C-alpha cells in the first residue's frame, strides 16, 4: 500500500511540473519557438455583474512584441484588472498572460464581431501600459479603455444567501489618439464631441452631423459621428 501511495505521489509531482511547462507552450505549430508567458489566474471576488468583458471564453489570437501571432486560443479580457486570460485546455487552467510580452490581441465576440485591442502606454492619470480597444483606426485613432470597477450598492444576497454590498459596474473611457500628440479624452455626447475641434470647425462639423442625422448619445453614435467627420477631412485637437 505504501509503495502504491509513493507511486501516486510521484505521478502527481511529475504531472504538476509538466503542467507548469505546458502552460507556457503554444498551440499552433507555426510558432513553436514562441512561448506564452503568464501565471495561473486567481479567481476574482463574486459580486453582481461581471469582471470580464465577455460572459464566455472566446476564440482569438495574441500578437507578441516580436510581431509573431499566436492564434487558436480561447481568450477572456478582464476589464476589472485590465489583464488578458487564456484557457489552457490540456490543463483546464486559466492563465493570465504577461502584459509585457505582448503588443495586443483580438477575439471574435459572441455576436460574431472581431474586436481588436492594442497595448499602449498611457501618460495620464495612473500612468502605465493599458489595453485599448481600437474603435476606429487612421491618422487619429478612436480608442476605448474598457474599465470595470467594484462600486458600493444597496445590500443584497447572492445565490448562496450571503449578504453583499458591492457590484461590478462599467466605467468606459474614450480617447482620440495619435502617436505624435498623445491622448484626448472624449465623452459620448454631442457637446463633448464638438469641443474636441477648433472653434472654426465646430459649426461645419455640427452641420455635417445634422445633415447625416447623427446625434451623439452613446458609443455607437460616437463611432459613427467620428467616421463621418474624419472622411470629411476634419481633425480633432489633441491636447
- Number of Cβ atoms within 10 Å of the Cβ of 207: 10
Higher-confidence residue: 76 or 3?
76
Q: Tens digits of per-residue pLDDT, 18-57? A: 333 333 444 444 443 347 889 999 999 999 999 999 999 9
Residue 42, domain member (yes or no): yes
- What is the maximum span of the chain, computed from C-alpha positions, in angstroms? 87
Q: Tens digits of per-residue pLDDT, 99-122? A: 999 999 999 999 999 999 999 999
Instruction: Please tell me the predicted confidence (pLDDT) of residue 25.
Output: 40
The answer to whether residues 130 and 222 belong to one domain is no
Number of domains in the chain: 2
The answer to whether residues 195 and 89 belong to one domain is no
Residue position matching grid coordinates 487612421: 138
Checking if the pLDDT of 138 tops 50, the result is yes
Q: Which of 8, 43, 38 is nearest to 21 (CA)?
A: 38
The answer to whether residues 192 and 130 belong to one domain is no
Task: State which of 134, 149, 175 marks the end of a domain.
Answer: 134
The answer to whether residues 127 and 202 belong to one domain is no
| Whole-number Å distance between alpha carbons of 176 and 137 | 10
Nine-digit cell string for 217 = 448619445
Checking if the pLDDT of 86 tops 60, the result is yes
Tell me how far apart the terminal alpha carbons of the chain are, to the nearest angstrom: 73
The answer to whether residues 122 and 205 belong to one domain is no
Instruction: Please tell me the predicted confidence (pLDDT) of residue 75.
Output: 97
Instruction: Please tell me the predicted confidence (pLDDT) of residue 10.
Output: 42
Tell me the three state secondary structure of residue 149: strand
Residue 152, domain member (yes or no): no
Confidence bin at 143 (pLDDT 50/70/90): very high
| Whole-number Å distance between alpha carbons of 149 and 165 | 13
| Whole-number Å distance between alpha carbons of 90 and 99 | 23
Tell me the three state secondary structure of residue 99: helix
The answer to whether 86 touches 95, Cβ cutoff 8 Å, is yes
Instruction: Please tell me the predicted confidence (pLDDT) of residue 238.
Output: 86
Percent of the chain with pLDDT over 70: 85
Global pTM reads 0.82
Summarize the confidence of residues 182-188 as an average pLDDT: 95
Show the domain range for 61: 2-134
Distances (CA, A) of 204 to 192, 197, 199, 207, 223: 16, 10, 10, 5, 18
Instruction: Please tell me the predicted confidence (pLDDT) of residue 92.
Output: 86
The answer to whether residues 128 and 24 belong to one domain is yes
The answer to whether residues 11 and 105 belong to one domain is yes
Q: Write the CB contacts of 33 (distance below 8 Å, at least 6 apart in sequence).
A: none
Instruction: Please tell me the predicted confidence (pLDDT) of residue 91.
Output: 80
Instruction: Please tell me the predicted confidence (pLDDT) of residue 203.
Output: 96
The answer to whether 107 touches 115, Cβ cutoff 8 Å, is yes
Confidence bin at 213 (pLDDT 50/70/90): very high
In sign, the C-alpha dihedral spanning 52, 57, 61, 63 is positive
Say how many residues make up the chain.
239
The answer to whether residues 130 and 201 belong to one domain is no
The answer to whether residues 28 and 100 belong to one domain is yes
The answer to whether residues 107 and 210 belong to one domain is no
The answer to whether 83 touches 97, Cβ cutoff 8 Å, is yes
The answer to whether 25 touches 70, Cβ cutoff 8 Å, is no
Amino acid at each position: 500500500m505504501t509503495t502504491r501511495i509513493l507511486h501516486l505521489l510521484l505521478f502527481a509531482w511529475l504531472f504538476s511540473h509538466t503542467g507548469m511547462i505546458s502552460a507556457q507552450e503554444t498551440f499552433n505549430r507555426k510558432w513553436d519557438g514562441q512561448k506564452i508567458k503568464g501565471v495561473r489566474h486567481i479567481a476574482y471576488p463574486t459580486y453582481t455583474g461581471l469582471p470580464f468583458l465577455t460572459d464566455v471564453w472566446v476564440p482569438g489570437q495574441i500578437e507578441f512584441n516580436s510581431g509573431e501571432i499566436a492564434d487558436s486560443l480561447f481568450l477572456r479580457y478582464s476589464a476589472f484588472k485590465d489583464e488578458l486570460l487564456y484557457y489552457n485546455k490540456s490543463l483546464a487552467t486559466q492563465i493570465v498572460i504577461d502584459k509585457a510580452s505582448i503588443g495586443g490581441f483580438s477575439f471574435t465576440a459572441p455576436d460574431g464581431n472581431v474586436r481588436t485591442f492594442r497595448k499602449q502606454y498611457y501618460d495620464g492619470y495612473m500612468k502605465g501600459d493599458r489595453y485599448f480597444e481600437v474603435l476606429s483606426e487612421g491618422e487619429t485613432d478612436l480608442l476605448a479603455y474598457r474599465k470595470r470597477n467594484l462600486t458600493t450598492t444597496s445590500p443584497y444576497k447572492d445565490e448562496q444567501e450571503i449578504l453583499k454590498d458591492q457590484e461590478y459596474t462599467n466605467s468606459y473611457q474614450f480617447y482620440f489618439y495619435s502617436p505624435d500628440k498623445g491622448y484626448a479624452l472624449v465623452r459620448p455626447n454631442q457637446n463633448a464631441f464638438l469641443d474636441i475641434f477648433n472653434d472654426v470647425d465646430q459649426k461645419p462639423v455640427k452641420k455635417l452631423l445634422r445633415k447625416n442625422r447623427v446625434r451623439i448619445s452613446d458609443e455607437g453614435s460616437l463611432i459613427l459621428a467620428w467616421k463621418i467627420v474624419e472622411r470629411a477631412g476634419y481633425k480633432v485637437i489633441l491636447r
